[in-house]
Amino acid sequence: MSKLTDFLAGEKILVADGATGTQLLKAGLKAGVAPESWNLANPEAIRALHRGYIEAGANVVLTNTFGGSRFRLGRHGLEGQVKEINEAAARLAREVAGEAVFVFGDIGPSGELLKPLGKLPYEEAVAGFAEQAEGLLAGGVDAILIETMSDINEAKAAVEGVRKVNAEIPILVTFSFDTHGRTMMGAKPDKVAKEIWALGVTAMGANCGRTLTETLTAIEQMRAAVPEAVLMAKPNAGLPHATVGDTVYDVTPEIMAEYAHKFAEQKVKIFGGCCGSAPEHIRAIAEALK
Ligand SMILES: [Zn+2]
């Protein structure tokens, strides 16, 4: 058993970090620039991001690699630097996390539709995710988190890709149920739970989404579908509201802390925030779950 699976077998809930993207925009990342490019170009901003969450009480930080696959980096002409960028991200997170905090290598969706709905062949998706995982593992992550998924088939391709590189590393998979209780691709929480848990993943759950209530409902349905599952949730701090020159999310740290208890009732073992959640939210969650 790895240190993580050991931990997940215990009673304690791990506190995960908050948003990466929205925080980097606050730190000066220009819209349209790949956030992952900062792993090489602005490493101090990435260290500061991780430090902020760890100081707030996070036991888990995610690498800044949501769009770190060749599919997404290719949109910025960075497809030749997949390994370099992912390895750098993992090293930065590890450097700040030390051994006391878990580092999850983050893999987001390809942004493409897989065949037959779209053009991306399944095998190509597997190869792309494997390439990203190789960089993350070289940089020393404790686990791989495949997140904000919509398509069950794509999530399977990602799991397969990671396992091609390392069959032992713990894999966690979370979906975004942001479309009337389903994923954008129409997958319902109970179906997702059954199919993903059958892959033998370490944990699964929901992240991003629209509101805390909707994400909680998705988690309740996953729990009902697979009672023995290890679940994880990383909901958004509500919905973004554009105000003059800034984007504000409507969920306060206090509300997030209140919901941390509701997610804990569903025996969620890892809980953090997604878009719009800052270190203040993570501090409130850590306090609430003490
Ligand atoms: Zn999000």
For residue 209, report the distance from its CA to the centre of ligand 1, in Å: 7
Query: Hunting for tokens 């930065």 — which residue is that?
Result: 92
Q: How far apart are CA 208 and CA 217, in angstroms?
A: 13
Average the pLDDT over 265-275 and give the result. Answer: 97
Give tens-digit pLDDT for 248-267.
788 999 999 999 999 999 99
Residue-level pLDDT at 233: 98
Tell me, in angstroms, the distance from the centre of ligand 1 to residue 278's CA.
12
| 247, pLDDT greater than 90 | no
Distances in Å between the Cα of 143 and the Cα atoms of 68, 261, 274 are 16, 25, 18
Instruction: Give me the pLDDT at residue 239, please.
Output: 79
CA of 213 to the centre of ligand 1 (A): 15
How does strand 203-208 pair with strand 231-235? Answer: parallel
Determine if the peptide bond prior to 116 is cis (ω within 30°).
Answer: yes
For domain 3-288, the question of CATH label 3.40.605.10 is answered with: no
Instruction: Tell me the pLDDT of the chain averaged across its residues.
Output: 96
Task: Report pLDDT digits (tens) over 144-165.
Answer: 999 999 999 999 999 999 999 9
Among residues 273, 262, 165, 250, which one has the least CA distance to residue 219?
262
Question: How far is ligand 1, taken at its centre, from the CA of residue 210, in Å?
Answer: 9
CA of 252 to the centre of ligand 1 (A): 16
Distance between Cα 81 and ligand 1 center (Å):
25
**pLDDT score of 131 more than 60:** yes
> How far apart, in whole angstroms, are the C-alpha atoms of residue 66 and residue 53?
17
Residue 284 and residue 226: Cα distance in Å, rounded? Answer: 29
Q: How far is the CA of 54 from the centre of ligand 1 (A)?
A: 19
* pLDDT tier at 242, thresholds 50, 70, 90: low
C-alpha 207 – ligand 1 centre gap (Å): 7
How many whole angstroms from 1 Cα to the centroid of ligand 1?
Answer: 30
**Cα–Cα distance, 35 to 248 (Å, whole number):** 19
Residue in 164, 147, 121 with CA at minimum distance from that of residue 236: 147
CA–centroid distance, residue 147 to ligand 1 (Å): 9
Separation CA 162–CA 106 (nearest Å): 11
- CB of 212 closer than 8 Å to CB of 252: no
Q: Regarding predicted confidence, which is higher, 250 or 81? A: 81
Mean pLDDT of 80-101: 98
Sign of CA dihedral 253, 263, 99, 158: negative
Using the mean position of ligand 1's atoms as its centre, give its distance from the Cα of residue 5 in Å: 25
- Rounded to the nearest angstrom, the distance between the alpha carbon of 55 and the centre of ligand 1 is 21
Q: Ligand 1 center to residue 230 CA distance, Å?
A: 21
* Distance from residue 138's CA to the centre of ligand 1 (Å): 26
Strands 240-243 and 246-249, bridge-based pairing: antiparallel
* Cα 122 to middle of ligand 1, angstroms: 25
Q: How far away, in angstroms, is 236 Cα from ligand 1 center?
A: 5
Count of helices and strands (H, E) across the chain:
12, 10
